[in-house]
Structure 1
Amino acid sequence: MKLYWGDLHNHCGITYGFGSLENALAAAKEQLDFCAIIGHAMWPDMPERTEELHFLVDFHTKGFAKLQSNWEHVRDTVKHWNVSHQFVTFQGYEIHSSEFGDHHVLSPSDELPLVEAGSPAELVAMLSPLPVIAVPHHVGYTPGYRGANWEAFSEDNSPVVEVFSKHGCSMSDTSAYPYLHTMGPRDSRNTIVNAIQRGKKFSFAGSTDHHAGYPGSYGDGRVAVLAAEKTREAIWEALLARRTYAITGDKIECHFTVNGAVFGSEVKDNGRRHLCLDVKACDGIEKVTVYKNGKPWMIQHGIGSDPSQQLGNKHGKYKVRVEMGWGDLTEGYDWKGSACIDNGKLVTVETCFRGRSVLAPTPDMQDSPEINALGNKLISTTETEAQWTCTTFKNHSTLHPQTAALIFEMDGDLTSVLTVTANGRTIVYSIGELLEGSRSVHMKPHNSEAVLIHRAIPESEYNFVGEWTDDTKEFECDAYHVEVKQWNGQYAWISPVFVIGD
């Protein structure tokens, strides 16, 4: 089994999103293993068109009609991009519902028809016997206001639930990333924790719900899947088996078991629960929280802090994030960058590329097929060098970044030197210097784009192994899940293992 990274819920110009389908798929292939580009298809209980709601109703209605008229082309394009062991795509589209909450249906079948239905459950039934699941998303909205309807929730129809996207985090009403969209706040009755405490069984997914055709846009939500291989069949099997978890952006590698059963599984209670957690993060780990039945059961802070790591000429692995952006250009700033390491080698390079930040249409937005044709590409990597291009934009606010980054994992020591060149500016620092803190350089004298080399993170701070034992049964089904928080604010939410009583 291996972890694969994807986005199961991204929108583009095939309905009322923006940008071409082909460019969206190309962006996904650059930094993901699999994706689903979702068209908005129907809203059976949509509010009536009034003077106040005419824009809302009109853009939905036009978007639905656009997908309907182009469905064959959309389906054929998605089919064409699916190549086993290279890049995997799934077919799918979305049904809104005020009563039942919004869902997107997913299928590995290229024969998936576009049909109208009155509810998500009815849609899944109409699509049978094709293999189809319905993934609830932004579930934390108010009941009856396009939030989840846990009374109508079906574990068979929905083995996976989207817990994080551009809408925010629905894990609990106190989680980071509150709902701030015009659709309203999150309501504790519809959170993931509430559903777990009501005995619902499902796994977690993150996906962007990004509306400008950029699957996996960094920080907006991604999903990790534990599968046998990078094929439609293997990833689909993993989705049905609930071997998934959610991440915000950084590809935090997690393995969590209870009595040997991996996340998403059900295991019989044998009187003692042995919990094992293995995490390889992308930044220093600030906190690990193990939840039992939706409540914190074990918390560890400041994982892996090891001052001795900085003493002497310590050899080992380090992660250094190189970030670009800032400035005042709303239409984008193009970067050409390279990095090389002396007296060491590059082990891995992870891209953290973003698309233009768009969650929903506004009256002033105009579609362009090229809106998502950005220059975000890892051009080449060797054991000592990497080259890339990317596009960044002015940050929307002091809390909404539009930067791009790459994470370099290096094998070396304190004398190993990282040289970064970006648009003609060169920055040179040793691992020893970067352990002391970050370094930055600007491209112009004022309101300027900049390059930031983050503090070097030793392996002891981004790796964590934990084992715990619990012998207390609380319910006939006890659910254990995990939250991992990095110092940079990136999260992983690892799906529950369900311990079933005799």
Structure 2
Amino acid sequence: MKYKKLWTDMHSNLHHEQINDLPHWYDQIKKTMDFWPFAYYPFYMKMTSSGLAVEDIHEDKDIQKDWEYIRTFTKEKNAEGFPMFMGYEWQGSGKDGDHNVFFLDNEQEMHHPLRYEELVKSYEGVSAIGIPHHIAYQLGSRGKNWETHNETFSPFVEIYSSHGCSESDDGPLDMNRHIHMGPRTGETSLERGIEKGYHLGIMAAGDNHGVPGVFEHGSMCVLAKDNSKEAIWDAFINRRVYGVSQSRIGVDFTINDIPMGGEVITDQAVLKMHIEGSDAIDRVEILKGNILDEMVVHSGTWELKEIPQTVRFKFHIEFGWGPDTRVYKDIFQKLWHGKLDCGNGKLLSIEKCWNNFGQELYNVDEHSCEFDLTTYKSTASGKWMGPSNVTTEGFIFEVEAEKDGYITLMIDGKEYKLSVEELLKHSKVFALWDDIQQLTKDTWGDIEHYRDDPWWHNAYKFKVHRFAWEEAYTLDYQKEIQVEEDCCYRLRVWQKNGDCAWSSPIYIRKK
């Protein structure tokens, strides 16, 4: 069966104090995602008599009022045709790990028992699932307790989010963003659940508390028959899900034509994959359980091939950077207006790489599009050398054009001609020189310096990443497997830009 790929952020937490922002969050999700399992966050920092703040749950009357508002809102959006699911975060005593609970219908109540097994029991006979997240934190201190796990109630797990990666304790994507909860440990990671023989799907989601659907924090894809809630729920309970760390890497993965999350009974298997990246694919790791079975290296297979005259390619454009707020104290954001014009070429697809509110895409046709973006300073310190990443906004465009031709980018009224041939070789960075020179003069007067640091370091910039042509971002592969024991296979896909995708396993029972 051919499934649709539907994308979402399955972990966007709106707090009691933010509940009136639900329509604003919904508007953002509708711009970026295909459906929305919303996770209400009923916890807050409670002051003890000595002044120490501890996290606790709000009073029942407050969260019940919020829950009824969410119920009404969800029903309204479902009636309008958008597949939204009610959900909430459950934490209990912390001994079993944090889980987000979601429902197929809109008639259920929240339960907050202290233990996971009690939570499972409270929803017997109900179409409910509880998805564990940031699982690789310490056992007993909000990390996953695999001894109490129920694979029916929790058909898949979130292994990547703003917290980092919980697949193992030695992978390249660490969990070092939340110092108060880390570091990660191997005893609660995904690998332990697979070792125990659980049937587990795998996905990624943001754990976003300020903006839903943050590009840099990961998202999930479901393989569903259509975009109805019932079809999406069927994908949930059958583990037809996978996760990406950033961009939307397309993963089609089957064994004997059974898709990810499924089970095959056989003694002879054929594994197939088709990968369509958003940038050049570096490699695909085929894992048998937790052990690397084969590495399919894509780098080196396409670089020397002759690029055709009419070429299809993808490229990422990022907008942001700008003045250090210690130097320019009142500048915290910039509004950008842009237009991409492919001329005689074709604009085939657009992925929104958005991390904050304030972004718009419009007037999209076969050859061009317009956009308005709002970029902000670093959330941690307001300067480029802060501990958190610089936050950018942008797009991944897919274009078909002539190799010796140009596409045109208009930014704030200025035209930039982008050579296809040049950008197939390397990326380019553009600074808004006129703007920073005027800002410097207005603020500091006529400045002279023997190098351009005062201007370059404070200039707004945009980066046009290297164009990846179709041979670079697509990969097809298959292999035969002689089945000697019950096992599972899963994929880990790496792009050259560091983006990753994790498939759910396919489980094989020896015939």
**Shared fold (TM-score, shorter chain, > 0.5):** yes
**Alignment pair present for 1:464 and 2:466:** no
Where do 1:23-42 residues align within 5 Å?
Answer: 23-41=24-42
How large is the Cα RMSD of the aligned pairs?
Answer: 2.3
Question: What corresponds to 1:15 in structure 2?
Answer: 16
1:430 to 399, 405, 419: 419
* CA–CA distance in structure 1, aligned partners of residues 12 and 310 of structure 2: 42
Question: What corresponds to 1:157 in structure 2?
Answer: 153
Give the structure-2-normalised TM-score: 0.87
Deviation track 1:139-178 (CA, whole Å, cap 9, x = no partner) reads 1111111100101100111001111110111111122321
1:264–1:496: 8 Å Cα contact kept in structure 2?
A: yes
**Alignment pair present for 1:125 and 2:127:** no
Q: Which amino acid aligns with 2:273?
A: L
1:414 to 403, 406, 424: 403
Question: What corresponds to 1:72 in structure 2?
Answer: 68
Cα offset for 1:348?
0.7
* CA–CA distance in structure 2, aligned partners of residues 56 and 95 of structure 1: 16
* CA–CA distance in structure 2, aligned partners of residues 78 and 401 of structure 1: 34
Q: Give secondary structure in 2 for the equivalent of 1:251.
A: coil
* CA–CA distance in structure 2, aligned partners of residues 48 and 272 of structure 1: 61
* CA–CA distance in structure 1, aligned partners of residues 206 and 19 of structure 2: 14
* CA–CA distance in structure 2, aligned partners of residues 376 and 305 of structure 1: 37
- From the superposition, tell whether residues 433 and 90 of structure 1 become closer, same or farther in structure 2 (CA, over 3 Å): same
Deviation track 1:29-67 (CA, whole Å, cap 9, x = no partner) reads 101001122122469xx9995747x3233xx34487643
Cα offset for 1:436?
1.9
- From the superposition, tell whether residues 488 and 47 of structure 1 become closer, same or farther in structure 2 (CA, over 3 Å): same
* CA–CA distance in structure 1, aligned partners of residues 42 and 387 of structure 2: 35
Cα offset for 1:125?
2.6
Question: What corresponds to 1:361 in structure 2?
Answer: none
Q: Where does the alignment leave 5 or more consecutive residues of structure 2 unmatched? A: 326-330, 381-385, 438-454
- From the superposition, tell whether residues 139 and 17 of structure 1 become closer, same or farther in structure 2 (CA, over 3 Å): farther
- From the superposition, tell whether residues 96 and 390 of structure 1 become closer, same or farther in structure 2 (CA, over 3 Å): same
Deviation track 1:323-376 (CA, whole Å, cap 9, x = no partner) reads 111113674322221101123111111111002xxxxxxxxxxxxxxxxxx221
* CA–CA distance in structure 2, aligned partners of residues 190 and 10 of structure 1: 23
* CA–CA distance in structure 2, aligned partners of residues 48 and 291 of structure 1: 47
* CA–CA distance in structure 1, aligned partners of residues 18 and 200 of structure 2: 29
* CA–CA distance in structure 2, aligned partners of residues 497 and 207 of structure 1: 21
- From the superposition, tell whether residues 448 and 322 of structure 1 become closer, same or farther in structure 2 (CA, over 3 Å): same
**Alignment pair present for 1:222 and 2:231:** no
Cα offset for 1:380?
2.6
Q: Give secondary structure in 2 for the equivalent of 1:343.
A: coil
Q: Which amino acid aligns with 1:335?
A: W
Where do 1:72-471 residues align within 5 Å?
Answer: 72-82=68-78, 87-97=82-92, 98-180=94-176, 181=178, 182-212=180-210, 214-268=211-265, 270-303=266-299, 305-309=301-305, 314-328=309-323, 331-355=332-356, 374-395=357-378, 396=380, 397=386, 400-443=389-432, 444-445=436-437, 446=455, 447-471=458-482
Give the structure-1-normalised TM-score: 0.89
Question: What corresponds to 1:359 in structure 2?
Answer: none
Deviation track 1:180-214 (CA, whole Å, cap 9, x = no partner) reads 212111111111122112211110111111111x2
- From the superposition, tell whether residues 220 and 63 of structure 1 become closer, same or farther in structure 2 (CA, over 3 Å): farther
* CA–CA distance in structure 2, aligned partners of residues 401 and 498 of structure 1: 40
Deviation track 1:234-288 (CA, whole Å, cap 9, x = no partner) reads 10111011100011121111110112211000111x2222111100000111121
Q: Which amino acid aligns with 1:56?
A: V
Q: Give secondary structure in 1 for the equivalent of 2:471.
A: helix
Cα offset for 1:401?
3.2
- From the superposition, tell whether residues 399 and 437 of structure 1 become closer, same or farther in structure 2 (CA, over 3 Å): farther
Question: What corresponds to 1:498 in structure 2?
Answer: 507
Q: Which amino acid aligns with 1:339?
A: L
* CA–CA distance in structure 2, aligned partners of residues 63 and 388 of structure 1: 43
* CA–CA distance in structure 2, aligned partners of residues 109 and 434 of structure 1: 49
Q: Which amino acid aligns with 1:382?
A: D
- From the superposition, tell whether residues 192 and 115 of structure 1 become closer, same or farther in structure 2 (CA, over 3 Å): closer
* CA–CA distance in structure 1, aligned partners of residues 73 and 333 of structure 2: 28
2:344–2:367: 8 Å Cα contact kept in structure 1?
A: no
Q: Give the ranges of 4+ consecutive aligned residues of structure 1 lying more than 6 Å apart after TM superposition.
A: none
1:219–1:490: 8 Å Cα contact kept in structure 2?
A: no
Q: Give secondary structure in 2 for the equivalent of 1:8.
A: coil
Whose relative contact order is higher, 1 or 2, with alpha carbons under 8 Å and at least 6 apart?
1
Cα offset for 1:299?
0.8
Q: Which amino acid aligns with 2:249?
A: I
Q: Give secondary structure in 1 for the equivalent of 2:475.
A: strand
Q: Which amino acid aligns with 2:481?
A: D
* CA–CA distance in structure 2, aligned partners of residues 15 and 423 of structure 1: 39
Cα offset for 1:487?
1.4
* CA–CA distance in structure 2, aligned partners of residues 113 and 334 of structure 1: 42
Q: Give secondary structure in 1 for the equivalent of 2:404.
A: strand
- From the superposition, tell whether residues 331 and 68 of structure 1 become closer, same or farther in structure 2 (CA, over 3 Å): farther
Deviation track 1:440-466 (CA, whole Å, cap 9, x = no partner) reads 211224212111111111100000011
Q: Where does the alignment leave 5 or more consecutive residues of structure 1 unmatched? A: 356-373
1:15–1:63: 8 Å Cα contact kept in structure 2?
A: no
